[in-house]
Amino acid sequence: MLLSHIKKFGLVGMLPPPAQKRLLAISRQGDFGPGERIFSRADAADHMFVVIRGRVKIFLSGGGRRRKTFAYLGAGDFFGEMAVITGKTRSASAEAVEPTSLLLIHKKDFRSLMEKDRKLAFYLLQAVSERLRVADEEIEDLLFRNVLGRVAKTLRDLSKGVPGNGPVELPRRYTHQDLADMVGTTREPLSRALATLRRAGLVDQREGVLVLLEPAKMDQIISASVATE
């Protein structure tokens, strides 16, 4: 694991070179195959993680087929820090989506590094605050937005990093089950919502990848999807 390879990543890249070296000195690399569980909800939290390469899914499983996917993480993203900081058990599960390499940092070493490096502590505070904001927004969506609106909002969120003002192709292929898990529903309502968007001329599919044909009209559907009394 070379410093020249990992120093560009988010959590590591924001540190000055001496702090980068300290972080890497207390870390080890872990490799996970597709579908391999990294940790499960309620597990004891001994490490936090930084993605070196690959993709990681953060999710919760409910009764039956219900599952809520909170995030897909890629190179440079970190996770597992909340339980390490608070000393509580894991609040969600993490699983490798594809061949994945992670940087593992033990909780004692990480806490010690945070005490010594204020920039790292401030960066983490900002990141955790943003994640809490997104979580609050998702709770509001589940409580007040209908399935069609939640599907449209999920598709728009997935397209936000894609440049351009016209039709937007999602950056990767997602199965109906992937999308249903992100929306917080099952495949049947998800399929009905996608069919509605297709009939309205708002989405299409090219080689298995969804394309948002009129993002501005999708935004109108999202705005109109909040339940009112």
Residues 135 and 155 in one domain: no
- Boundary-marking domain end, from 97, 117, 142: 142
Please report the DSSP string for 186-197 in residue order. Answer: -HHHHHHHHHHH
Query: 37: domain range?
Result: 3-142
% of the chain residues with pLDDT over 70: 90
Residues 54 and 103 in one domain: yes
How many whole angstroms separate alpha carbon 102 and alpha carbon 56? 10
CB atoms within 10 A of CB 195: 11
Give tens-digit pLDDT for 8-27. 566 777 777 777 778 888 89
Question: 60 - beta bridge partners?
Answer: 68
Residues 212 and 129 in one domain: no
Q: 229 lies in a domain?
A: no
Residues 150 and 129 in one domain: no
Residues 109 and 211 in one domain: no
Q: Identify the CA nearest to 52 among candidates 107, 9, 22.
A: 9
Q: 57 lies in a domain?
A: yes
Give tens-digit pLDDT for 145-179. 899 999 999 999 998 866 666 799 998 999 999 99
- Boundary-marking domain end, from 97, 112, 142: 142
Residues 82 and 194 in one domain: no
